[in-house]
Structure 1
């Protein structure tokens, strides 16, 4: 069932005398989702932070506990958790149409930006202006991600047990190279057992249903259930519809062009990738780079890093780097098509098979997860997963910092421990100076995301055009 607006029954004012926001139609929500999409820089940590600030703190459309519950579920899914979180909240507010609007708009700026940069890259190479823009933006993005780690950590790590889970998660992935899915499963098991045992540390960590955790009132009350039900018939219909939307184009390409054609390869490879991308973009980039460079020969090694730079410094999910990969793959094997046309189609096909499954996971699974919010064991498991994800995001921030400031970073193994050791001689003083400047601007002076991005990008362009970098 669809709903034009939510919150028809207006809850009473809270103890501070605040009334909940008025009901919001989908048309009224659309510019807010567009704003979130335009500000979705900085990878998943920064994007989730932006959504939290707008949806929970500013608009008060959804409570903190419900926001975290949705985030916990999205971290379990393959694919970009930030885009899926936007889809989830949009679905909660306005049903399937709301999910499509929120999730679709979240991707759209990245699609346009990466496509434009892919054209420039194919036609002109890594020109000085573009390279300088990326150089400066990396420093700003690092500051945004660091800020997001702290903001999310403060909200998700309630109590020493959750802090310990985050720390163990960081050690496991940064020093022991344990795969992200293993970390998630271990955290879920610990949280589930703690919740079943009724341990208060896990109940407090989740924050679900805790009045203290939410500085109410909110448009979407915690007790309110979505209108879409969880009957087997509804689940089968949604599953069939979105599986067809995702896979019918893949089947048509394979029938018409064959699996050996470049478009057949793109459709099959990225469809498989969409089912195994647990842990966000960084967790799968090594696999994508290895296959695209070594197995298929679509890209040269340095080009994957160029694509990552594009995705890191444009709005949208970091996994949008795959559009750049699909673009270059088809651009270099266009067949009878003009290379730029083939590249454009290859990039769009990659985006389609990457993101169509995301809507399937949310529209099928979210109704069940919503009705299990009162389950203490499940809530504790999801809260433990969120704590573990904080540790993983911290790992990504450290990884990003090392590769931003140093030109060379190599893994060194000490028994079971792996250390990413930078070559100190490869320190880039200009990258370090820009990074420190961005961190001071964000943490000392409270500079906003867009001013920081603009200042660093301008500095990067100036340094590049002057020949200093």
Structure 2
């Protein structure tokens, strides 16, 4: 009863317009340390922390911020942390919230990476990772199903997704597929506005050129030697064009780091996802 009353009071009160830098740091340090499960889980925990518990934002403001993060590339949960930090404590809050949310995961991943490189070849560790891989595949498949329910709302979008999946299977470049898919959807809406029904020809035309260009790109970049600058440019590229769920990142990493450049094996990529 007391919790219900507290929730009603928090839901009805005015949002707290400013917060101390210390409060912002503690909240996002906590979230950055315990928020496992991907952007969707991070967003849910932020909602619980800054809307329900602390009343920093109203539900409407939180949803507006979430909508804004979906309009720009990059990881949604990190962008939400930065937005909320800026909203509560100005420019210093922006920097502190971002750093406190990102750094714990950075240290944890660094520790896991060291353990993997040092002990990953041991039979006990290899056996544990081998047992985790089916679970990771199941999680990714579940995420794909959930994303498809949201994204594929019409038959035309389903058709574009099917064409893109087929082209990706034959080695088309993922960036060109994204551009081609976007142009195909825009062209489809334009054709529907003009009451034209021959959408299949447009889908084929807008889907064929990414396949050919993607094959040429893949042929010209396979086997690239590893280096810090190529690694930097890869993640800069991905960070500049990646929208939506972090699961989309897996497609880029597999296409470039595994198939195109050979920096990782399929096993190492799955182990990284498991960790």
State the TM bucket, normalised to the shorter chain: 0.5 to 0.7
Matches within 5 A, 1:372-391: none
Q: Decide whether aligned partners of structure 1 residues 70 and 186 sit closer, same or farther in structure 2, where only a CA change above 3 A counts.
A: farther
The CA RMSD measured in Å over matched residues stands at 4.0
Q: CA deviation at 1:269?
A: 2.0
Partners of 2:98 and 2:127 in 1: how far apart? 30
Q: TM-score, normalised by structure 1?
A: 0.38
> 1:122: which partner in 2?
117
> Displaced runs of 4+ in structure 1, greater than 4 A?
16-23, 164-167, 169-175, 177-183
Match of 2:262 among 290, 297, 316: 297
Q: How far did residue 281 of structure 1 move? A: 2.1
The C-alpha deviation readout for 1:204-249, integer Å capped at 9, x for no partner, is: xxxxxxxxxxxxxxxxxxxxxxxxxxxxxxxxxxxxxxxxxxxxxx
Point out the structure with the larger helix share: 2
- Deviation, 1:67, is 0.7
Q: Contact between 1:293 and 1:301, CA under 8 Å: does it hold in 2? A: yes
Distance, in Å, in 2 between the alignment partners of 1:168 and 1:278 is 18
Shift of 1:81: 0.6
Q: Which has the higher contact order (CA 8 A, sep 6+)?
A: 1
The answer on 1:68 being equivalent to 2:63 is yes
Structure 1 residues 64 and 18: CA distance shift in structure 2, 3 A = closer
Equivalent residue, structure 2, for 1:346: none
Whether the aligned pair in 2 keeps the contact of 1:87 and 1:100 (CA below 8 Å) is: yes
CA contact (8 A) 1:39 1:50 kept: no
Question: Which residue of 2 is the match for residue 309 of structure 1?
Answer: 274
2:97 corresponds to = 102
Unaligned runs of 5+ in 1: 1-13, 150-163, 191-258, 311-469
Q: Counterpart of 1:84 in 2: which secondary structure? A: helix
Q: Identify if the C-alpha distance between structure 1 residues 60 and 307 changes in structure 2 by more than 3 Å, giving closer, same or farther.
A: same
Helix, strand or coil at the partner of 2:241: coil
Q: Note the C-alpha offset of 1:270.
A: 1.9
| 1:31 counterpart (26, 32, 37) | 26
Query: What are structure 2's unaligned runs of at least 5 residues?
Result: 1-8, 165-176, 190-223
Deviation, 1:85, is 0.8
- Size of the aligned set, in residue pairs, is 208
Q: Distance in 2 between matches of 1:110 and 1:174?
A: 38
Specify whether residues 22 and 130 from structure 1 end up closer, same or farther in structure 2 by C-alpha distance, changes over 3 A only. Answer: farther
C-alpha separation between the residues in 1 aligned to 2:22 and 2:178? 38
